[in-house]
Amino acid sequence: MTRQENGDVLYAVYGTLRNGHGNNRLLQKSTVEFLGTLQTPPNYTMVGRGAGFPYVGENGSTAITIEIFRTNDEEVIRRVNGLEGYSGVRNHSSNWYDTCDVDTPWGTANMFINNESVEGAPERAIIHTGDFNNQILEEANV
């Protein structure tokens, strides 16, 4: 996990940790600061159409809509990492999600990825907009 020089952790979240979704409650603490919304470079693939949550893999051509949160609260970090099945150590064998670095105007953020699960995902499950919120709206209008 990448930390800022002062020990802060920046999270780049794209799914149920975003504002308006159920898991965002983990980030609704006085020790967490919402910094803004932006898009990554078009280097990813988002999977999760029709699912309760998305996941992202590297090696794609989609820009992902992310929200950036900053915290140094170790309890928040533990809970967010626990939700994502992340040990806090990249490439650890127990990780379900891993993290990759995303450059933001506020510093390097950690974005959760699952390259293995993205490989071979059916085309119908891919969220081509890279925005989990748009995917939910599209399904509601079907």
Position 142 scores a pLDDT of 46
Give the H or E element holding residue 28: none
Residue 81's nearest CA partner among 51, 52, 58, 112 is 112
Question: What pLDDT, on a 0 to 100 scale, did the predictor assign at position 116?
Answer: 84
For 114-139, what is each residue's pLDDT tens digit? 988 888 888 889 999 999 998 755 55
Distance CA(83)–CA(97), nearest Å, equals 10
Report, in this order, helix, strand and coil percent for the chain, each rounded to 5: 25, 30, 45
b/e per residue, 75-108, with b = 16+ CB within 10 A? ebbebbbeebebbeeeeeeebebbbbebebebbe
- Taking each continuous run of H as one helix and of E as one strand, the counts in the chain are 3, 7
Q: Which residue has 């979240």 as its token pair?
A: 13
Under DSSP, is residue 56 helix (H, G, I), strand (E, B) or coil? Answer: strand
* Per-residue pLDDT tens digits for 20-34: 999 999 999 999 999
Between 110 and 133, name the one with better pLDDT: 110
Q: 134: closest CA among 56, 36, 48, 43?
A: 48
pTM for the whole thing? 0.92
pLDDT in tens, 7-66: 999 999 999 999 999 999 999 999 999 999 999 999 999 999 877 889 999 989 999 999
How does pLDDT run across 66-107, given as a tens digit for each residue? 999 999 999 999 999 999 999 999 999 999 999 999 999 999
Q: Which one of 3.40.50.300, 3.40.190.10, 3.10.490.10, 1.10.3720.10 gives the CATH number of domain 9-140? A: 3.10.490.10
